[in-house]
Amino acid sequence: MLVMTRSLLAPVLLTTLASLGCGGGSSDETGSTGTVTQVSTVTLSEGSTSPDVPTTSGGTSGEASTGATSAVTVTTTGDETGTSATTGSSGSSPGTTSEPGTVSDTTTDVSTSDGTTTGGDGLWDTPNLWYAVDKSLIYVELSPIDGSVVQLVHNELVADVPLWHGQNGLTMLEDGTLLGSRESAQGTQIYHIPMPSTTTDTPAAAFMLGVVPGEQGAKNPRIEALYTDCDGRIYLMDTGVDVGSVEGNRLLRFNGKYLQGELGFDVVTDLGDASVADIDDMSPGIFDGEISDGLGFAMDSTDLWKIDYTTGTGMKLAETNGTWGIHALGGPLFMDLQPRLYILSSDAELIAVALDDYSSDMQLIVGPDLGLDSGYNGWSGLAGPLTECMTTIPQ
C-alpha cells in the first residue's frame, strides 16, 4: 500500500491544480506500522437523560439523545500504529474503536491523477461539507465546477455512548475523518467518526473519546465549536460563563492524544476581553485568495466576523441569513481555483456567501427536517476539508 506524505503530495497537487499554498502538517502521534483488519460493532440501548439546560444563543440543550436499540458494524483494513492515530501529514487515518478509548489506525487508498494514492477517502481533496444534529449526520457533496450542491446525504449517527442533546461542533481531520463535540450544562462530549457516510442508508459510527475536563476543580467547559489548523492541531471554542455572552470565552487547543481520550488543553487566546462576539462556529479564512488558519471567519448568531485567532481581535463583516455554522473551502478544490464560503442556518439552509460584499442570498439546499422535540435542524457547526496551507498560528 503506497501512501504519500503531504510533503510528497504537495508537488502533485501543485501540478494538477495549478495553484496551492505551502504544505503544512505535522504529526505528534506516531508508532510502528503493521497490517490490521478491525471490525467494530456498536449497539445502542436506551440512554439516560441529563438535566435540562436553559435556552441559549445556540439553541436549547436538553436531555441526552435516546432511542430504540440500534447497531452498526464498521470494518476497515490498513496500517496500524502502536500509539495513536497519525494526522494527514503521514497519510494515515484514525480507524475504529472496539471499545471506548481504544483506537486502531487505518489507511484508506485514494487514487490521484498520477496513479499514486493518498489517505482520507478523497474527502480532503474534493469540495464537501458536513453537519451533525442529534442522531443524524449530513453530508453535502459540492460541485468542483461551481461550488453548487451535487447531493445531500442524510444518515443515522450511531454512537457507542448516547450523545447529549445540544449544540454540535464538528471539524474534519487531515485524514478525512470527523471530530465532533456535544455541549450541554454538564460540559462537552468529544467523539470521533472514523468512517463518515457518503452514501445513503449507511449509518455512521461515532466513538466517544470523553468529556472535556475542567481545570483544577472548575466546571467542565462548554465547547460550542471545533477547528483544525494547517498543522492538524485541534482548537475548541469555550463559551465561558454562558452561551450568550463573551464573558469567559477562550480559544483552547488540545495538548494530548485526543483520539486516545487525552482531552487536556492549553489556552491559546482569552477572548473574553477581545473585540469579538460570542462565537458559535469557527472557519478558516481567506487571505489573498489562499486559505488562512490564523486569520479566519467566525459566526455569532447570524453575524459574520473576521477574527485573528492568535490575538482575539476581530471585525464584524455582515449580518447574514445563516445562524451558527460556517466553513471556507480553498480554491484548489475547484476548477476555477476560487475559494468559497458557506454558512448554515438554524433551519438547515446551506447558503453560499459572496466574498466581495459578504451577501448571503444564495440558498443552495435545505437539509432534512429531523423531527426534533427541541433544538433546530441546523443546530451544528459546518465542517469540511481545509486544503493545503501553512499555519500562521504560533506553536
Alpha-carbon distance of 281 to 302, in angstroms, equals 11
Q: Cβ neighbours of residue 231 under 8 Å, at least 6 residues apart?
A: 24, 25, 26, 391, 393
204-211 and 187-193 beta bridge pairing? antiparallel
Q: Which domains does the chain have, with CATH numbers?
A: 6-366 (2.120.10)
Cα 309 to Cα 86, 144, 221, 231, distances in angstroms: 25, 29, 19, 15
pLDDT at 122: 76
pLDDT at 121: 63
Find where cell 475523518 sits.
177
pLDDT at 2 over 70: no
Structure confidence by residue, pLDDT tens digits, 93-111: 333 333 333 333 333 333 3
Q: CA torsion 172→94→199→64, rounded to 10°?
A: -70
Mean pLDDT value across residues 375-388:
94
Alpha-carbon distance of 210 to 4, in angstroms, equals 32
* Lowest mean pLDDT segment, chosen from 112-126, 184-198, 316-330: 112-126
For residue 281, what are the β-bridge partners?
Answer: 299
pLDDT at 239: 79
| Residue 362 burial (C-beta neighbours within 10 Å; 0-12, 13-18, 19+) | middle
Task: Please state, rounded to an integer, the average pLDDT across all residues of the chain.
Answer: 74
Buried b (16+ CB within 10 A) or exposed e, 195-206: bbbbeeeebbbb
Mean pLDDT value across residues 3-19:
35
Structure confidence by residue, pLDDT tens digits, 131-186: 999 999 999 999 999 999 999 999 999 999 999 999 999 999 989 999 999 999 89
pLDDT at 39 over 80: no
pLDDT at 57 over 70: no
State if pTM tops 0.75.
no
| Residue 301 burial (C-beta neighbours within 10 Å; 0-12, 13-18, 19+) | middle
Which of 238-247, 256-265, 290-299, 307-316 shows the highest mean pLDDT? 256-265
